[in-house]
Amino acid sequence: MGRLKLQSFVNTIEEEPEESEVTSPNKAALSCMINSEIGAVLAIMRRNVRWGGRYMSGDDQLEHSLIQSMKALRKQIFMWQQQWHNINPVLYLQPFLDVIRSDETGAPITSVALSSVYKIFTLDVLDINTTNIEDAMHLVVDAVTSCRFEVTDPASEEVVLTKILQVLLACMESKASVVLSNQHVCTIVNTCFRIVHQATTKGELLHRMAVHTMRELVRCIFSHLPEVESMEHFVVNRGSMKSEIGGLDNEFNFSAKQFNNGNGSSEYDGHLPSANFGSTATVSRSAGVVDENSGGSEMESRAYNLDVMTEPYGVPSMFEIFRFLCSLLNVVDHIGISSRSNGMEIDEDAPLFALGLINSAIELGGASFLRHPSLLDLIQDELFHNLMLFGLSPSPLILSMVCSIALNLYHHLRMDLKLQLEAFFSCVILRLAQSRYGASYQQQEAAMEALVDFCRQKTFMVEMYANLDCDITCSNVFEDLANLLSKSAFPVNCPLSSMHILALDGLIAVIQGMAERIGDGSLDLEQAPVSLEEYAPFWMVKCNNYSDSNHWVPYVRRRKYIKRRLMIGADHFNRDPKKGLEFLQGTHLLPEKLDPQSVACFFRYTAGLDKNLVGDFLGNHDEFCVQVLHEFAQTFDFQDMNLDIALRLFLETFRLPGESQKIQRVLEAFAERYYEQSSHILANKDAAFILSYSLIMLNTDLHNVQVKKKMTEDDFIRNNRRINGGEDLPGEYLLELYHSICKSEIRTTPEQGAGFAEMNPSRWIDLMHKCKKTAPYIVPDSRAYLDHDMFSIMSGPMIAAISVVFDHAEHEEVYRTCIDGFLAIAKISACHHLEDVLDDLVVSLCKFTTLLNPSSVEEPVLAFGDDMKARMATVTVFTIANRYGNYIRSGWRNILDCILRLHKLGLLPARVASDAADESELSSDPGKGKPFMNSLSASHLPSMGTPRRSSGLMGRFSQLLSLETEEPRSHPTDQQLAAHQRTLQTIQKCHIDSIFTESKFLQAESLLQLARALIWAAGRPQKGAGTLEDEDTAVFCLELLIAITLNNRDRIVLLWQGVYEHIANIVQSTVMPCALVEKAVFGLLRICQRLLPLKENLADELLKSLQLVLKLDARVADAYCEQITQEVTRLVKANSTHIRSQMGWRTITSLLSVTARHPEASEPGFDALVYMMSEGAHMMPCNFILCVDTARQFAESRVGQSDRSIRALDLMAGSVGCLVKWVCETKDALEMSQDIGEMWLRLVQALRKVCLDQREEVRNHAVLSLQKCLTEMDEVHLAHSIWLQCFDMVVFTMLDDLLEISQGHSQKDYRNMEGTLTFAVKLLSKLFLQLLTQLSQLTTFCKLWLGVLSRMEKYMKVKIRGKRSEKLQNIVLELLKNTLVEMKNRGILAQRSALGGDSLWELTWLHVNNITPSLQSEVFPCAGADGSSPVEPVITES
């Protein structure tokens, strides 16, 4: 049953039994109260002469019945013993109600009686458990609504009307109101409305009281809607019930009953005056006031039967009341924007009153309307249509109320108002919010306020996008609204106004809603792009489950993709129809072989098509075009639609061709479709065709200015005789068509989709038809399923709009609103991976920092501190960089421009670049000051002297305090101090250093772009800046680049190539020492020091980069040689175990070799070499030769004392132990010995070179070291060829070179060569004897032996200071004798048979005899020639 659930009220009362107990002691008090009311009524009656005494009737004197009933009640009230809720209320209400009904009483008496009844209601003695409460409530309503009284004066009359309103409202607010019937509730509302209407001619107080009561009544009634049950099965056809309801017409309809008085001197009009409502409809006999001109909507064919209206009130009464409220808006056929339609401007109170009541009903009924289809139908059709019309009212008050109702309807009922909401936004909001459609500024502002209210609903824009923008049959409401907000916020050649701020609020609300859906974390909603792999009918795309996001999200994205492709296809079609269709075939929206249905649906559902081309295509005589035309007609729904309306809708979709044959084909297709669906009047499709053609002709005749004689009604009827299967059509039907065409022209040349169409009756009827077939309304949840697509659409215009508002704004509140918007945009862009959008935002924001503008002010720091906009923009830029740096790409360049500007102004913290690297990288030896440390550090130290211009913030601040300049300066003002303080606070908030210290968390692509931006910023010339400033910028950028390189050691491969090339360009292009090349060289060394232990796979690449140091210009290298060497030494000591390749060691040793001849650098360089070679700790096969060569260079170097050269020789000599150890440790001794031999040969060759040194002690030590290296290789089995090479290339060469030096150079250059020659010849003898056994087996032994003899012979003849050295000769003779004796004893030197010849014997003695002839006889005396015992060799001191 569609009534209130009474049980709930009964339970409430039953649960509170103590109420009766409380009331029981007060029974006497209640009796006294009612007694006092009786006394008040009697007293006021006695004041009237009519009631003051007795009157005669025959012989008896009788009192009037009203007084008698009052006195009788007075006697009874103190005699009742039962509780008040057990007393029949009729007993104590009836006397008062009789007074109210009586037409003999005057206004004062009636007023007091009404007050008494009102007081009884306020006593709370009437509730649902009271005895006979239904009859009592019905009596009260009947009596009060039919109140009669004599009017004595206007004031008293208004008092009575006020009391009536009070009592009726008390009835509805009473707990017992649930027993009122639908009929009585309708009567109460009807009575109150009549008072509202008639009070307009009376006092203002009464009018306001009546309006307030009406509003409270509606609120009271509809607040019970959630508690009533559905009662739709009681709805019957109104036409069949007219006879039953007609008798009750005067009982419960909303016709204006009259208040009767005794003498008829005051009667209220029985109809609504036309002065207030214009073309008001007449009162119908059914329960409601309807507009006969509303087109006969479905709602008017419904009513409730008599039984339902006498039931306790519920849906039937609410339906009648709500329909009546809607009918109050049916007072205008059309309300336009134009000021000419100013009928509503005269009195806007009436529609405002109706709209306010409707709004209250919707607010309180809420979503409960959804459970009652009759009420929902009223809202969907009649109410919304009226809202569309009143929405275009020139009154901002009416527009504002209409928008409030629309917002409430959206909030509660949007799932059933999809197309209505689309029409409201397209035809009302979007039209009124733009001045180009003729709306006043007040209308624009009201419409914009409404739109912003909608935007503040968190899911509004998402719902519009999902339900409308992604539907091919609907307009792009989301896109239009977003563009409207962006354009409206964009001030063009005008100051900022409230409209701009309002639109800005809307934009911010939309993007903040998106940001809230994201939450604090990133999204995991990566969705694959939509594509169509094969053809499927695009107009038949369905969703299996509209409440499951796994189904509806792909569904709406697919529909949006189709819609976009269709619009692109429409653009192609408008340029060339054939190519347009081919394009759609290529995108699988049309089949490879075109079929009529698909092309027809393309024409029907695609927006933006050229309607002239569509009309030409449909009117073509080609067979395929004819088929498309008929399929096109099949897409329309003409069910139960008038012919003229159907024809209007059909011809709105294309331009009707001008040729008669084409018109005929088009109308034949239309007539066939119309007859299929609306055949209740027309006999056949031919009749539909003829009548349609006749309407086109009538339309041309009536609305063509060139036609002078217009067709009359009779002419039209006469022209259409016997067209309906040989019969005439009803005259009323033809007249209705005639007047419809006469009133509104059928446009055969429809607009090409520009702007927003007006909502005419035919379009509204079509919309109602579409509502039955449209897809269900999708309600997204709080997740950001579609935000990526939506944000991509609106981001560009939105950023531009907010930026322009920010630029024009002058108030902090607007600044902060814009900043909130910027941060929300950044968050959305980052979470949806829209890097381009984030870059655009950064570029836009950087412009507002004023840091990129050429400084034209004398004190840019003070200007920055005074500019709130610039400071806020700066903080925002760096906030975005810190929070969302992962998704910044090209925007890094603009951010770096800002950082560089702050750097030039001295506003950055002193060590922003140095602190960007980890603290662990800082030198562990702070005691040694290094000039190549951060060159900015010193400049940022606070100084109270006269600081440099490039000093830090405190330094610049101290300029204001400095008194040491030539010209006296005044102390800084308070304003300047405050500006500096604000600047300092701003820079602190930026956390600029975090960009670089936290770069380790940046995504690879963003990190790479940041590094490239640093290289780009450092390399480009600075306009208007000197060389020093350019260098300072380059140094700063290089510091930052090195910092992020060190912070991203795990991703060094990503950065290394760019970093290396940048440093290489600096090194190779610098010819003089400067801070930039200093930073480049030592930055490179720092990178190697930090990364070598961690990236062994990149060790070669890193060490190879150090070769850049070798390419330094000589002047540059000389300036930094000592520091470079110190860094290389640290690198070697810290990372020697991580350098395993020959190329890496070659780089290290090359750097060390360079230092051997540098006065300052040689000492640390030699320390590194000692570290590497001492005891072979860090010697290995790959670096052996390199270390030996380096040691040789230090040995040869005359920088420093000879002791260092001797130590270098010791290092070389000691390295032999490494060779021996490696041979012993290796398994493949043979192969290893070959490599060892080569390394050993290189070692002794190096020593041979040092043996020629000018310094005696070095030269002699080198010879002894060489001897050590030659004689300690016994454990290593070197190949004979190695030894032969050693004699030829080392020993013999050394002896020859020493001999040459002793003969060809002055003794001043080479002192005491005699000693050196002695050591050398001893070395020769000892080595020869040590290897004698091995070498004697060689075929080349004779040659080797002759080489030894020839050197001894030369040394015998050498002259020192012009004469032969006796000492040297004696040593040579002794060595020679020992050698010969040893050879004899081993059987190597012996006389062989003369027959075969003995070259060794003969050649030996040939050379020996040249040295000393007597030696042969000493070694081989005659006695021993035939085999005597061997001669002992002479032992000499080695």
- Helix or strand run (H / E) with residue 310: none
| Tokens 């008038």, located at residue | 642
504 burial via Cβ count (<10 Å: 0-12, 13-18, 19+): buried
Distance CA 1237, CA 780 (A): 82
Distance CA 1402, CA 1245 (A): 33
Helix axes 349-365, 315-327, angle to 10 degrees: 150
Distance CA 332, CA 348 (A): 12
What are residue 1411's phi and psi, to 5 degrees?
Answer: -80, -55
Q: Beta partners for 55?
A: 62
| Helix, coil or strand: residue 1178 | coil
- Helix or strand run (H / E) with residue 57: strand 55-57
Alpha carbon separation from 1116 to 74, 258, 290, 1072, 1075 (Å, rounded): 124, 113, 100, 5, 11
Q: Which amino acid is at 1158?
A: H
- Active-site residue (options: 345, 659, 745, 1275): 659
Q: Which amino acid is at 1166?
A: F
Left (φ > 0), alpha (ψ -120 to 50) or beta: where does 188 sit? Answer: alpha
- Helix or strand run (H / E) with residue 1355: helix 1341-1357
Distance CA 1232, CA 1217 (A): 15
Distance CA 1250, CA 1260 (A): 9
Q: Print the SS3 string covering 371-435.
A: HCHHHHHHHHHHHHHHHHHHCCCCCHHHHHHHHHHHHHHHHHHHHHCHHHHHHHHHHHHHHHCCH
Q: Count of CB atoms within 10 A of residue 1205's CB?
A: 28
- Parallel, antiparallel or unpaired: strands 60-62 and 235-237: unpaired
User: Tokens standing for 1177?
Assistant: 């700790």
- Helix or strand run (H / E) with residue 1322: helix 1313-1330
Distance CA 948, CA 906 (A): 10
Cα atoms found within 13 Å of the Cα of residue 225, Cβ hemisphere only: 30
Q: Are 461 and 790 in contact (CB under 8 A)?
A: yes
Listed in sequence order, the DSSP H helices in 606-722 are 611-619, 623-634, 643-651, 660-677, 685-703, 713-719
Distance CA 1360, CA 188 (A): 148
Q: Which amino acid is at 58?
A: G
User: Tokens standing for 752?
Assistant: 């090409």
User: Tokens standing for 488?
Assistant: 């409206």
Q: Beta partners for 235?
A: 304
Task: Indicate the Cα dihedral angle 975, 977, 982, 983, nearest 10°.
Answer: 110
Q: Are 508 and 574 in contact (CB under 8 A)?
A: no
Q: Which amino acid is at 796?
A: G
Listed in sequence order, the DSSP H helices in 779-834 are 787-808, 812-831
| Helix, coil or strand: residue 1151 | helix
Catalytic (active site) residue 858: no
Q: Are 1040 and 1055 in contact (CB under 8 A)?
A: no
What are residue 60's phi and psi, to 5 degrees?
Answer: -105, 150
Distance CA 812, CA 871 (A): 12
Q: Which residues are catalytic?
A: 659
